[in-house]
């Protein structure tokens, strides 16, 4: 039996699926993170390979049975980065004595879009560790907004929210800013005992800044005004992504689906975002994705094989 393999590589976990050549998924599992911008190229390719190996073992399949692999991962929207990861994965596989016949690396936003709107126009707004918007017009042309990384972009993302929250905590600690519940929740979460302890975790222990976003959401749900303001500002940034896309494609009615750990479930942040979209963009309808990103990777793989 021949297989298609789809990979959705995130900063906290990696989803994978194996399908037959018709695109029917026959096995799905989750493994370690493979966002190479977070864990590095070497660890990313090792984790992806291990996950594929685990899946094939469970199905009693063989590496030679794999017809096409599509890997969707953050950062791969830039051609050079996608090629680097693709080559690194091929080289690592060869070192393990495995030669895959077909490997394609694309942006995680691209596979999310394919999964959300396999047969129609629409856009997928992703807000997790990073942020990006991918849209497809009625001619199938792909458009991108955002996704410039945490140093110069990723507005509305976990990293952007986390960075603003940590800035608010540092200002509150020495009287330059208002007290915020974020400080208390963060100290409890990090078991740091003080702001100095948090600083050590940021600079010496490489604290996952994006993970702080969920603490901000919890603080906002408790009525903390600093947390509420941060989320309100960041939601505006995501709305701006959609407005920019609409200016590019000039379409009257458009569907948007959410993806990413911050907005694909009901919470204070996603609720703010939904209200802002409904009040400022009346021609945009929020819908559920038709299928998850990993299914989009399978669809992508099927298309490559059938070309």
pLDDT band with cut points at 50, 70 and 90 for residue 13: confident
For a pLDDT cut of 90, what percent of the chain falls above it? 47
* Span of 76-80, 90-94, 230-234 with lowest mean pLDDT: 76-80
**Spatial CA neighbour of 78 closest among 15, 147, 152:** 147
User: Rounded to whole angstroms, how far apart are CA atoms 74 and 55?
Assistant: 22
**Does pLDDT of 254 surpass 80?**
yes
The average pLDDT across 133-162 equals 88
Residue 43 near residue 292, CB atoms below 8 Å = no
Joined together, the tokens standing for residue 244 give: 């920019």
**Does pLDDT of 231 surpass 90?**
yes
**Spatial CA neighbour of 293 closest among 130, 54, 45, 71:** 71
Q: Give the global pTM.
A: 0.80
SS3 assignment, position 111: helix
| Pairing verdict, β 142-146 and 14-19 | unpaired
pLDDT band with cut points at 50, 70 and 90 for residue 148: confident
pLDDT band with cut points at 50, 70 and 90 for residue 205: low
The average pLDDT across 62-77 equals 87
| Whole-number pLDDT of residue 9 | 86
| Whole-number pLDDT of residue 264 | 86
**Does pLDDT of 194 surpass 70?**
no
187 φ/ψ sector (left φ>0, alpha ψ -120 to 50, else beta):
alpha
Q: What share of the chain is helix, strand, coil (3-state, %, to 5)?
A: 50, 20, 30
């Amino acid at each position: 039996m021949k297989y298609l393999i789809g990979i959705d590589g995130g900063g906290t976990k990696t989803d994978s699926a194996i399908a037959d050549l018709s695109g029917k998924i026959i096995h799905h599992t989750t493994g370690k993170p493979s966002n190479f911008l977070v864990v590095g190229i070497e660890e990313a390719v090792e984790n992806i390979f291990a996950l594929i190996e685990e899946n094939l073992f469970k199905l009693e399949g063989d590496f030679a049975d794999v017809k096409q692999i599509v890997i969707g991962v953050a950062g791969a929207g830039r051609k050079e980065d996608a090629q680097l990861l693709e080559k690194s994965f091929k080289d690592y596989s060869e070192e393990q004595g495995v030669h895959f016949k077909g490997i394609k690396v694309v942006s995680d936003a691209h596979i999310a879009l394919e999964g959300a709107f396999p047969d129609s126009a629409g856009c997928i707004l992703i807000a997790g560790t990073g942020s990006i918007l991918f849209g497809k017009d009625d001619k199938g042309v792909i458009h991108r907004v955002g996704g410039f990384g945490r140093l110069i972009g990723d507005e509305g993302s976990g990293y952007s929210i986390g960075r603003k929250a940590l800035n608010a905590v540092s200002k509150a600690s020495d009287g330059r800013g208002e007290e915020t519940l974020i400080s208390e929740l963060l100290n409890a979460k990090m078991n740091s005992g003080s702001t100095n302890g948090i600083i050590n975790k940021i600079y010496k222990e490489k604290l996952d800044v994006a993970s702080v976003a969920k603490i901000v959401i919890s603080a906002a749900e408790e009525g903390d005004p600093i947390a509420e303001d941060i989320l309100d500002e960041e939601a505006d940034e995501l709305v701006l992504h959609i407005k920019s896309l609409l200016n590019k494609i000039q379409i009257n009615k458009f569907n948007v689906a959410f993806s990413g750990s911050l907005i694909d479930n009901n919470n204070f942040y996603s609720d703010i975002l939904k209200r802002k979209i409904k009040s400022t963009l009346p021609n945009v309808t929020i819908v559920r994705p038709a299928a998850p990103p990993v299914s989009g990777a399978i669809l992508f793989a099927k298309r490559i094989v059938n070309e």
